[in-house]
């Protein structure tokens, strides 16, 4: 949700109640709720934009024994105006198979993510660590509001000034 208060615009990040390790989004307002798709969205726009977060091991699990469940998740994301998948590791790190995964190879994991991205038009972002992943999630949601959320010119101008770790901005 975006609201104005004395020329201040606030973006409220929706965090899915099932998200086990949510980002803190320091300095920003957040709200826990049950999302139909993804782990993060914007309050008031939950049915239009979302981001799915995956750790290194989650990504491998999702592309091996949890593939059917993950594909259903990707299909729910694809039904939105915009969605993204953020993976908390570099592509090089993703190529290192976790010890608990035995029957899936690197080509299946990377190839599957590329295939989902092409098939469902959902970008996959790799972030070297959780902090960078959190910033990508925020910037993706803020950019969607700016370009697609019909938030109005003042909100779009204000969001253009938002830093990677700031959820409220002064409008001048």
Helical packing angle, 153-160 and 130-148, nearest 10°: 150
92-115 per-position pLDDT tens digit: 999 999 999 988 999 999 999 999
Q: What is the DSSP letter of 81?
A: S
Residue 20 burial (C-beta neighbours within 10 Å; 0-12, 13-18, 19+): exposed
Residue 149's pLDDT is: 77
| 130: three-class secondary structure by DSSP | helix
Its pTM stands at 0.84
Query: 168 Cβ partners below 8 Å, 6+ apart?
Result: 8, 9, 10, 11, 27, 28, 29
Say yes or no to pLDDT of 168 above 50.
no
**In this structure, are residues 37 and 77 in contact, taking their beta carbons and an 8 Å threshold?**
yes
Tokens 């782990």 found at: 39
User: What structural domains and CATH numbers belong to the chain?
Assistant: 2-170 (3.40.50.10130)
Say yes or no to pLDDT of 52 above 70.
yes
Say yes or no to pLDDT of 66 above 90.
yes
Mean local confidence (pLDDT), 43-57: 97
**In this structure, are residues 135 and 94 in contact, taking their beta carbons and an 8 Å threshold?**
no
What are the C-alpha distances in Å from 93 to residues 60, 69, 88, 97?
A: 11, 23, 9, 9
Average pLDDT, the chain: 86
**Rounded distance, CA 28 to CA 13, Å?**
8
């Amino acid at each position: 949700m975006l609201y104005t208060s004395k020329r201040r615009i606030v973006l409220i990040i929706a965090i899915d109640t099932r998200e086990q390790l949510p980002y803190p989004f320091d300095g920003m307002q957040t709200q826990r709720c049950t999302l139909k798709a993804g782990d993060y969205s914007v309050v008031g726009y939950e049915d239009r934009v979302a981001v799915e977060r995956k750790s290194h091991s989650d990504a491998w699990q999702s592309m091996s024994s949890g593939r059917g469940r993950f594909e259903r998740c990707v299909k729910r994301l694809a039904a939105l105006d915009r969605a993204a998948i953020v993976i908390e590791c570099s592509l090089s790190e993703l190529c290192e198979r976790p010890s608990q995964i035995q029957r899936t190879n690197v080509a299946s994991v990377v190839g599957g993510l590329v295939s989902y991205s092409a098939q469902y038009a959902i970008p996959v972002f790799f972030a070297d660590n959780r902090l960078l992943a959190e910033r990508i999630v925020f910037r993706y949601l803020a950019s969607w509001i700016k370009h697609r959320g019909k938030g109005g010119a003042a909100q779009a101008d204000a969001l253009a000034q938002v830093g990677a770790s700031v959820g409220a901005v002064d409008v001048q």
